Structure 1
């Protein structure tokens, strides 16, 4: 299937690894020009080399920016003033015991996980309106619905993305600009992520560590495994395409059935 993405320009934040990298790769395979983003030039260079090895004719560039710093966001916007597709993927997470998580950490997490998407969307929507075409996609999480008790700050920021995406979609009613949120579930990280460390400490495989996590924390999973980043990216790439023109204001789950609800 041709997703009609040739000639489109996309920005994918937080895309030197993981789901963001898989999204960038999927867009490049469909012929889009993609700007990837990370916090360091070294990580960006490495990601670009990998992407070009997989898609030799890829039009891919990188812009370094730390989304906790407003001035770096402004510099990114100055370097890339307009895009057709914006994928707000950048995000941070970690164990945040509620009673010992101070205001500074709350504001820091909110700055990166929510305000990054607010600032970029607020800027890029103007050019999209002039062209009367665009795609804005927020990468939320099943944690937006199943708020983890050990990562309340993360869950709250991801819930905020659901409200932001729905409200922005309504604001853009009657245009050819769609706005959606995609909710991944537990997804395989490069090198095993935190499960690689857990596996080493317990003397088990990464897969065994992941299965133990699902049993204890996400027992509602229907696929009974972690998703691959590419599986999440496939949904995002479709939503970014002109073929998804009737899908907007939606919270689209790629969660492996973790959210225990029919709708």
Structure 2
């Protein structure tokens, strides 16, 4: 379903706003047809994309904490200097914009360049990290490890048959029929090979041998680890009413 185009919000920041008109923590405006949010943090003023990259939440209603802003919907967090998504469930960075001061007016006209990739990771980093769980938390951890230049092995064990999906969508737009299935994957299938993440689907971890540092999976195999992250998530709440155990009653957790 095509999204309806809405006009940009607030003042045109390319024409500037008076400093006196920006007396709160945030001010929503636009540059061309893009919504841009001015954010005050201490004595500094930043400009960042106005909507969360996870579910398009309005950051104008978010919480400014230090040099970061938090989405009011699902509490994703973004660095105001770089636009980096520093907290799940958001995985994609936002654009940041150049703020210019001319007299008593504040202007935003262009995007800033994204930070260059970091150098090599620390030499004392673990060689192999195993993540038990195929949901948003496990993926966010693996994704952040690569963004922080972890060069070792990453193995994700998932009992699901499909790669990580945006589970909140299962009970919202997708269920309502207003979102296509290709909105659901948190990352495209090609991402895992490109990022060097060994995603093992239908792999159910049954126990952990902490002495041998192995994760035991249902088929009897053992996967060694240097560091282990448990990100198994929660089970859906089931209705405690008669008939809830009928075969045509389903819980919303997997793509299937």
TM-score range, shorter chain: under 0.3
Greater per-residue strand proportion: 2
Larger relative contact order, structure 1 or 2 (CA cutoff 8 Å, min sep 6): 1
Greater per-residue helix proportion: 1
Determine which structure has more spread, i.e. the larger CA radius of gyration: 2
TM-score by length of 2: 0.23
TM-score by length of 1: 0.22
